[in-house]
């Protein structure tokens, strides 16, 4: 099995939980819960992995998706240790650990200060979170693999008083959009980038990517 993504969210922040609840298709999480998101190949292995996780501890499934190349799943629960155990035991069934995941990389950080109202409106049309307002600072962070942007979003909200405008956890790159004052956005950006870069894992070259 190729463990493309393994993300642990230790405590879902209010905005992050609200937006994640919109984006998921199964059981809806709420703030304060812990969460694990996995992406793996072969895609159909996701059924057995989710089955193992659900039979280990009291966790709830928020997502089960099989695509052409990868399968994805999400589990969450109020007890962080229970969520971590479910994820660990599910991987163990296939002889894997968290360390076998791909190591994430921040590939781009872009900041726009004093956002023009016309640009703000265009960004808002594509978002499902908070609203970007005229004059605010907008920061867009891109990561690969895409789903690691979930950690970036939650850690950004932990660190500063920002608005979580949107996050996109699928595709070639994951993208996080946050807004607020220039100083608050800078703090949130640093926290998000640090959290993603600190995660250990296998380099994509060693996985044959």
Q: Does 207 fall in a domain?
A: no
Q: What mean pLDDT is predicted for residues 103-123?
A: 97
Q: Are 6 and 15 in contact (CB under 8 A)?
A: no
Select from 32, 66, 100 the last residue of a domain.
Answer: 100
From 40, 72, 100, the end of a domain falls on: 100
Indicate whether 55 and 37 sit together in one domain: yes
Mean of the per-residue pLDDT values of the chain: 94
pLDDT of the residue at 204: 66
pLDDT tens digits along 21-62: 999 989 999 999 999 999 999 999 999 999 999 999 999 999
- H, E, C per residue of 114-161: CCCHHHHHHHHHCCCCCCCCCCCEEEEEEEECHHHHHHHHHHHHHHCC
Q: Where are the alpha helices (DSSP H) in the chain?
A: 14-23, 45-54, 80-92, 117-125, 149-159, 182-198
pLDDT of residue 208: 45
Prior bond to 42 cis, omega within 30? yes
Q: How many CB atoms neighbour CB 135 within 10 A? A: 11
Both 88 and 8 in a single domain?
yes
pLDDT in tens, 161-205: 999 999 999 888 999 999 999 999 999 999 999 999 999 999 865
Average pLDDT of the segment spanning 113-125: 97
Report pTM. Answer: 0.93
Pair 191, 113 in one domain? yes
- In this prediction, residue 205 carries a pLDDT of 56
Integer Rg of the chain from CA: 17
The C-alpha torsion from 197 through 198 and 201 to 203, rounded to 10°, is 30
By percentage, how much of the chain surpasses pLDDT 90? 90
Residue 128 sits in the same domain as residue 80:
no
Q: What is the mean pLDDT of residues 117-140?
A: 96
- CATH number assigned to the domain comprising residue 179: 3.30.70.1710
Domain of 159, in residue numbers: 105-198
Q: Indicate whether 79 and 7 sit together in one domain.
A: yes
């Amino acid at each position: 099995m190729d463990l493309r993504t393994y993300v642990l969210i230790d405590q879902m922040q209010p905005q992050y939980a609200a937006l994640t609840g919109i984006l998921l298709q199964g059981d809806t999480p709420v703030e304060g819960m812990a969460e694990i998101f996995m992406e793996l190949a072969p895609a159909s292995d996701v059924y057995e992995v989710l089955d193992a996780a659900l039979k280990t501890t009291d966790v709830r499934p928020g997502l089960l998706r099989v695509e052409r190349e990868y399968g994805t799943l999400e589990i969450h629960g109020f007890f962080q240790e229970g969520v971590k155990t479910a994820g660990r035991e599910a991987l163990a069934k296939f002889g894997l650990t968290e360390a076998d995941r791909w190591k994430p990389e921040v590939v781009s950080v872009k900041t726009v200060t004093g956002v023009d109202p016309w640009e703000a409106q265009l960004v808002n049309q594509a978002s499902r979170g908070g609203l970007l307002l005229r004059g605010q600072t907008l920061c867009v962070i891109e990561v690969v693999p895409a789903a690691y942007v979930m950690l970036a979003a939650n850690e950004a909200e932990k660190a500063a008083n920002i608005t979580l405008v949107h996050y996109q956890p699928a595709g070639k790159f994951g993208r996080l959009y946050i807004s607020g004052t220039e100083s608050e956005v800078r703090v949130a950006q640093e926290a998000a980038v640090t959290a993603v870069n600190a995660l250990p894992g296998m380099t994509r070259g060693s996985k044959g990517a």
